[in-house]
Structures are given as structure tokens and as C-alpha cells.
């Protein structure tokens, strides 16, 4: 059964997340937004296009003024200003004007890139998110953060631009390969760890059904996980304060992602960063030793790494400083005060960060110990 979750901006209804298990409600939802006399451009990547491009285009053709599709090559390396430029050119060529609409069909790369185009083309046009990965369904499609990478730095150029709708078709999760599916799970875990101990416990209880991708359980999981994101972005849409809590695991995570040249997935790096942040929390006596090990080991059944080979801890430390989560020269670190409650901390030292990186560093010596 479909369910709606309204998201407020400035205490007023702004857009809905619609949780469904097919694309059947896509056109009716766009009709509700008055799209009958608008041009619509689907923006997607080559992989998602193969799976769902034709199906989604078919939902729109003949119903709105014009429906077109722009496809760019898949991969984080294409989340850049060159892709943005080619989308602008396509929109101009197809005559899209200010009242037209973009549909971001894909994972985080597509959502962030198409969202940034929507934020800037003609000083802003409407867009909706149709996220097709667990990661984008639970995190990146919600809250209006858009942007692209620049010179290897994640999300360095961007804008806040709220979508008109987030359309979640859960059935697409069944076509994800295991690595991609579980990568998204890292962000679900993050939501439990930072804000919702009950969600965290529920994830432990439902481990089997989640791994089996039972759609009704996944729908409940997403609703619970998105409720955490909703509660945070509604209060702090532009990250002046508590929204930074959503960066739990991301400071060290982004540094590893860059160090590994995006060979590890975002979720895998977030899992590693979360273990490192939980380690610092334990060393500061915020978490008990048992809690630290429980958090760390929780990632294992979901196929997420808790250690990483072939890294240079000093270089990872250096990269944490180049991340944009800095304020007046200090890293804004997110620690766990307890499971289900995260805090922002600006006092984490280089030594603490290095010790945490060494904790997740799996070296040959460990293998032979
Ligand atoms: N993914 C972090 C945020 O939306 O703020």
C-alpha cells in the first residue's frame, strides 16, 4: 500500500515523499502538480536508463506537453560540471522554459546532478526525485541538497533546492546488486545511530527480512529511516546546526572515498567512517566498549566493511581537513553521545582522528598476527 510522508519547509507543507511499489502512480502524482501543460525532461544515467528509462518515459508520453529524456554515462566520475553543461545544452535544444520540470531518475549521482541543474537552469526550475537506489531513497533525494564534485572533492559545488516530490518505487531495490543495496543500508544505520535507538534495534530484529529484501519490511524500514531525515531537515534545512548530524561517518568516510579514488562505494566508506567515529566516542567514554563493538559488528551482516586495507592514515587525516565539513579551520566531527543520540564536536584532535583511522586500518601485520 502506498504511503505519503509530507516534508515541511518553514513549517509549511513543501513536498511529499510517496512510498510505492511501482511506477503506476507517477503520472497521477505529476498531474496533481499540474504537469499536463508542461514539458518534462527525465535526467538519468546509462545504467538506470537500461532498466527503467523507457518505462518511465512511457508513463509521461502523451500526457504532458512534451516528454524527453537525457542520459549521461553512469558513475561518480560523471558527477561534474561537464555533465551539468551538457544537460543545460539539451534543455535549451528541447526548448524547456522556466515552468517546465525535470525528473531525476536514478541514484545519488543523478539526483544531485539533475537537482543542481534544476537549481540553476534559468535561475531555477521545478524537479522531482525518483530515487532508484536504497542510498538515494533514504538519504540523498530528501532535503534539497544538490551539487556536483569538483577537482575530486565531493559535492564541492552545489545549491539547496527542494524537489516538488520524492517518488519512491521500492520494487526497484530488487534489481540492485548486493553491493549497491547494502551500500545504502549504511545511511539507514546512520539514521538509527544518530537519532533513533528504536530504529537501530528494529534493524537488528529485522536483519533477515531486510537481507531477503522483503518489500513490505523495506517499506517500513524506509519510512522509519526517512522519518529521522525529515525531523532533521525540517528544523535545519540549510545546515546551520543539527543537519550536520547527518554527516556522522562522513568526515573520515569522504576522505577514504577520495583516497581510494571512488573504488569503494559511498556507503562502504560511510560504514568505515561510522566505525571510526564510534571508536572516538568510546575512547571519550561516551559509548561503552560493548556498545562500540556492537555498533562496529552491526555492519558485518549487511556486507559492509569495518576495516580497510592499503591506506595511509596520515594522508586520510590530511584529506579530512580538505572536506567541506570544516568551520574556522576545525573539523566539525559528529560523535555518538549514546546509541540514538549524536552530537557535533569541534574539539576532536588530529591524534584522536589518527587513532580512529588506525583502528579501521587492516594491515598485512594484522593478517599475520
Ligand atoms: N546527506 C546529508 C544531508 O542531507 O544533509
Spacing, Cα 95 to ligand 1 middle (Å): 32
Of the CA atoms within 13 Å of residue 170, those in its CB half-sphere come to 21
pLDDT per residue as tens digits for the range 9-43: 999 999 999 999 999 999 999 999 999 999 999 99
Q: Give every CB contact of residue 284 below 8 A, 6+ residues apart in sequence.
A: 335, 352
| End-to-end Cα spacing for the chain | 53
Which atom in ligand 1 lies closest to the alpha carbon of residue 140? 1
pLDDT of 366 reads 63
The atom of ligand 1 lying closest to the CA of 239 is: 5
CATH class of 3-175: alpha beta
The domain spans of the chain are: 3-175, 178-367
Per-residue pLDDT at 363: 66
What pLDDT sits at residue 321? 86
Which atom of ligand 1 lies closest to the CA of 139?
1
Q: Quick one: average pLDDT of 167-189?
A: 96
Residue 9, H or E segment? strand 3-9
Quickly list DSSP for 49-87. IIIIIHHHHHHHTTTSSEEEEEEE--SGGG-SHHHHHHH
- Mean pLDDT, to the nearest integer, of 273-299? 97
What cell was used for 29? 502524482
State pLDDT tens for residues 184-211: 999 999 999 999 999 999 999 999 999 9
At 325 the pLDDT is 62
Q: Region 68-76: what's the mean pLDDT?
A: 97
Q: How far is the CA of 61 from the centre of ligand 1 (A)?
A: 33
Report the separation in Å between the CA atom of 365 and the middle of ligand 1, taken as the mean of its atom positions.
Answer: 37
Whole-model pTM: value is 0.94
Give the three-state DSSP class for 289: helix
Please name the CATH architecture into which domain 178-367 falls: Up-down Bundle (1.20)
The per-residue pLDDT for 331 is 83
Summarised one tens digit per residue, pLDDT across range 234-285 is: 999 999 999 999 999 999 999 999 999 989 999 999 999 999 999 999 999 9
Structure confidence at residue 153 (pLDDT): 83
What per-residue confidence (pLDDT) applies to 77?
Answer: 92
Residues with CB under 6 A from ligand 1: 139-140, 143, 145, 243, 246
Q: Which of 7, 140, 237 should be mutated for ligand 1, with most atoms under 8 A from CB?
A: 140
Q: For residue 200, how far is its CA from the centre of ligand 1 (angstroms)?
A: 19
Give pLDDT tens digits for 77-133. 999 999 999 999 999 999 999 999 999 999 999 999 999 999 999 999 999 999 999
Tell me the per-residue pLDDT of 308-360, one tens digit each, with 9 for 90 and over.
999 999 999 999 987 666 666 778 899 999 999 999 999 999 999 999 999 99
Q: How many residues does the chain have?
A: 369
**Residue 64, Cβ neighbours under 10 Å: how many?**
18
d(CA 145, CA 344): 20
- Rounded Cα gap, residues 252 and 345, in angstroms: 14
Residue 369 confidence (pLDDT) above 60: no
Spatial strand order in the sheet of 66-72: 3-9, 12-20, 165-169, 126-131, 101-106, 39-45, 66-72
Best residue for ligand 1 mutational test, from 137, 146, 229 (most atoms within 8 Å of Cβ): 229
Q: Which atom of ligand 1 is nearest to the CA of 145?
A: 4
- Return the pLDDT at 322: 77
Q: Residue 72: phi, psi to the nearest 5? A: -120, 160
75: left (phi over 0), alpha (psi -120 to 50) or beta: left
Q: Which atom of ligand 1 is nearest to the CA of 243?
A: 5
Amino acid at each position: 500500500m502506498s504511503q505519503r510522508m509530507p516534508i515541511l519547509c518553514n513549517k509549511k507543507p513543501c513536498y511529499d515523499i510517496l512510498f510505492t511499489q511501482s511506477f503506476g502512480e507517477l503520472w497521477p502524482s505529476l498531474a496533481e502538480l499540474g504537469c499536463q501543460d508542461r514539458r518534462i525532461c527525465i535526467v538519468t544515467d546509462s545504467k538506470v536508463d537500461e532498466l527503467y528509462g523507457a518505462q518511465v518515459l512511457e508513463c509521461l508520453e502523451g500526457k504532458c506537453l512534451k516528454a524527453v529524456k537525457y542520459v549521461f554515462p553512469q558513475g561518480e566520475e560523471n558527477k561534474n560540471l561537464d555533465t551539468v553543461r551538457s544537460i543545460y545544452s539539451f534543455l535549451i535544444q528541447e526548448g524547456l522554459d522556466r515552468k517546465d520540470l525535470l525528473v531525476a531518475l536514478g541514484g545519488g549521482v543523478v539526483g544531485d546532478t539533475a537537482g543542481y541543474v534544476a537549481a540553476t537552469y534559468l535561475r531555477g526550475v521545478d524537479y522531482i526525485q525518483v530515487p532508484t537506489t536504497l542510498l538515494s531513497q533514504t538519504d540523498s533525494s530528501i532535503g534539497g541538497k544538490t551539487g556536483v564534485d569538483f577537482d575530486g572533492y565531493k559535492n564541492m559545488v552545489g545549491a539547496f533546492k527542494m524537489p516538488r516530490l520524492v517518488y519512491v518505487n521500492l520494487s526497484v531495490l530488487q534489481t540492485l546488486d548486493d553491493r549497491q543495496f547494502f551500500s545504502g543500508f549504511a545511511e539507514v544505520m546512520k539514521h538509527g545511530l544518530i537519532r533513533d535507538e528504536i530504529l537501530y534495534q528494529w534493524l537488528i530484529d529485522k536483519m533477515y527480512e531486510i537481507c531477503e529484501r522483503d518489500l513490505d519490511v523495506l517499506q517500513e524500514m524506509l519510512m522509519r529511516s526517512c522519518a529521522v531525515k525529515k525531523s532533521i531537515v525540517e528544523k535545519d534545512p540549510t545546515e546551520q546546526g543539527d543537519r550536520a548530524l547527518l554527516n556522522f561517518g562522513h568526515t573520515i568516510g569522504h576522505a577514504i572515498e577520495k583516497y581510494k579514488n571512488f573504488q569503494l562505494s559511498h556507503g562502504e566508506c560511510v560504514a568505515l567512517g561510522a566505525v571510526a567515529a564510534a571508536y572516538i566516542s568510546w575512547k571519550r567514554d561516551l559509548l561503552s566498549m560493548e556498545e562500540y563493538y556492537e555498533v562496529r559488528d552491526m555492519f558485518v551482516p549487511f556486507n559492509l566493511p569495518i576495516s580497510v586495507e592499503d591506506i595511509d592514515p596520515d594522508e586520510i587525516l590530511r584529506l579530512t581537513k580538505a572536506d567541506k565539513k570544516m568551520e574556522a579551520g576545525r573539523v566539525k566531527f559528529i560523535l555518538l553521545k549514546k546509541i540514538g543520540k549524536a552530537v557535533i564536536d569541534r574539539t576532536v584532535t588530529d591524534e584522536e582522528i589518527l587513532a580512529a583511522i588506525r583502528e579501521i586500518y587492516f594491515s598485512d601485520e594484522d593478517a599475520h598476527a
